[in-house]
């Protein structure tokens, strides 16, 4: 008979041919084992490809699995997120900001945390965003502002279909506040958590955007976002302004060596950054004033630091000695909270200034010889 060659597959277990029956079970067992293995590999792969890449091991694992299995083709088929231009209809355009009522963290977490991953990370699953955006917020003793900021920003950023995370960098020492240094810290620490962040928004905690067409995703030039702030009389204060909320890609940050670390106290650091980008053949881009509208949450004004003028003048010679490559801080806490990642640091002012004086002395010596 023709079937004589493969009796094992034809004969059921209750038949008289015991050996065939054993063969069948063995064959089925192998099939099941294979299926099980495939399922396990698939599950591991999915976990690694969907999660934000916090664990360093996940990168190499993912790369390895991608080479091994082409099964994530379906994942790649998710469409690119729509680029929101000034005429987008999906967005609301002008929006309000609540700066009167103060929410509690419990309320905020109840309403916002379900859409977020620990550390205040949001990843849209329905489309692939063009950038991974880290929102860096320098912070000290402004809890009320922070709560209003989170309440406003999470829904705002999610409407823009961004892959983003909010990083609050808190200065935990008693010395004068150093906004620019904290922004450098936020940049470094965000990249340490996920090396794939490629777009950085540096944002004051007391500024809330009033138009959701202000797209928080990088362009090919540095963008100054907060051009039109209500308390500044709804106008651009001066042409080279770069403070408040601004946005740079990773490459731009590396090119200009980040922010200066020397601006202790209030003021000057944003003008220094403005000079850094302009002296590297970049132009500061802005939305028009009718779109780039922000409100500032009211608070007492800080004293300006008078040594900022001197620092600004010297800034030209310092760019490649003072910045990301000379950043010094002590990280005292890193906490993935439900609505944001908290990075607490201490900075040693005398140590930082002493280091730069040394470098400036070296520069003078170099110029003499």
Ligand X SMILES: *[C@@H]1O[C@H](CO)[C@@H](O)[C@H](O)[C@H]1NC(C)=O
Residue 4 neighbours by CB distance under 10 Å: 7
The CB-of-210 to ligand X minimum distance in angstroms stands at 20
Residue 324 neighbours by CB distance under 10 Å: 15
The CB-of-303 to ligand X minimum distance in angstroms stands at 7
Give the residues lining the site for ligand X (CB under 6 A): 85-87, 176, 262, 264-265, 305, 307, 348, 350-351, 353
The CB-of-93 to ligand X minimum distance in angstroms stands at 12
The CB-of-175 to ligand X minimum distance in angstroms stands at 8
The CB-of-306 to ligand X minimum distance in angstroms stands at 7
Contact 282, 253 (CB under 8 A): no
Residue 235: burial class (beta carbons within 10 Å; 0-12, 13-18, 19+): exposed
Distance CA 246, CA 272 (A): 13
**Residue number with CB closer to ligand X (33 or 353):** 353
Q: Which two tokens stand for residue 190?
A: 């965000």
Contact 147, 100 (CB under 8 A): no
**Residue number with CB closer to ligand X (279 or 307):** 307
With tokens 């023709």, the residue in question is 2
The CB-of-80 to ligand X minimum distance in angstroms stands at 18
**Residue number with CB closer to ligand X (98 or 302):** 302
Contact 309, 263 (CB under 8 A): no
The CB-of-57 to ligand X minimum distance in angstroms stands at 34
Q: Which two tokens stand for residue 105?
A: 């963290």
**Residue number with CB closer to ligand X (239 or 351):** 351
- CA–CA distances in Å: residue 58 to residues 51, 72, 74: 9, 15, 20
**Residue number with CB closer to ligand X (55 or 289):** 289
**Residue number with CB closer to ligand X (109 or 173):** 173
**Residue number with CB closer to ligand X (341 or 356):** 356
Distance CA 156, CA 149 (A): 10
Position closest to ligand X via CB: 265
Residue 111 neighbours by CB distance under 10 Å: 12
């Amino acid at each position: 008979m023709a079937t004589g060659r493969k009796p094992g597959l034809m004969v059921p277990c209750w038949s008289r041919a015991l050996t065939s029956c054993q063969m069948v079970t063995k064959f089925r067992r192998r099939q099941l084992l294979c299926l099980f293995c495939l399922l396990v590999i698939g599950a591991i792969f999915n976990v690694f490809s969907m999660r934000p890449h916090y664990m360093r091991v996940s990168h190499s694992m993912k790369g390895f699995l991608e080479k091994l299995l082409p099964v994530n083709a379906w994942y790649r088929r998710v469409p690119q997120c729509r680029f929101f231009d000034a005429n987008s209809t999906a967005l609301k355009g002008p929006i309000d900001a609540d700066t009167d009522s103060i929410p509690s963290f419990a309320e905020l977490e109840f309403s916002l945390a379900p859409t977020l991953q620990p550390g205040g990370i949001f990843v849209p699953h329905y489309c692939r965003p063009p950038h991974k955006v880290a929102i860096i917020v320098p912070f000290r003793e402004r809890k009320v502002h922070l709560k209003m900021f989170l309440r406003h920003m999470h829904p705002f950023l999610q409407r823009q279909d961004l892959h983003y995370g909010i990083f609050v960098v808190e200065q935990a020492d008693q010395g004068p506040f150093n906004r620019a240094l904290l922004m450098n810290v936020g940049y470094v620490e965000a990249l340490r958590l996920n090396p794939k962040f490629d777009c950085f928004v540096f944002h004051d905690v007391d500024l809330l955007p009033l138009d959701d067409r202000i797209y928080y995703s990088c362009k090919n030039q540095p963008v100054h976002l907060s051009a039109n702030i209500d308390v500044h009389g709804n106008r651009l204060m001066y042409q080279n302004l770069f403070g408040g909320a601004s946005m740079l890609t990773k490459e731009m940050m590396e090119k200009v060596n980040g922010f200066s670390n020397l601006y202790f106290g209030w003021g000057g650091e944003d003008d220094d950054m403005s000079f850094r980008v302009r002296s590297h053949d970049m132009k500061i881009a802005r939305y028009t004033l009718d779109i780039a509208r922000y409100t500032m949450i009211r608070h007492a004004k800080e004293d300006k630091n008078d040594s900022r003028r001197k620092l600004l003048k010297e800034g030209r010679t310092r760019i490649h000695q003072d910045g990301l490559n000379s950043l010094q801080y002590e990280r005292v806490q890193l906490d993935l909270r439900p609505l944001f990642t908290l990075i607490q640091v201490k900075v040693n002012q005398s140590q930082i200034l002493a280091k730069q004086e040394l470098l400036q002395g070296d520069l003078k010596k170099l110029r003499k010889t």
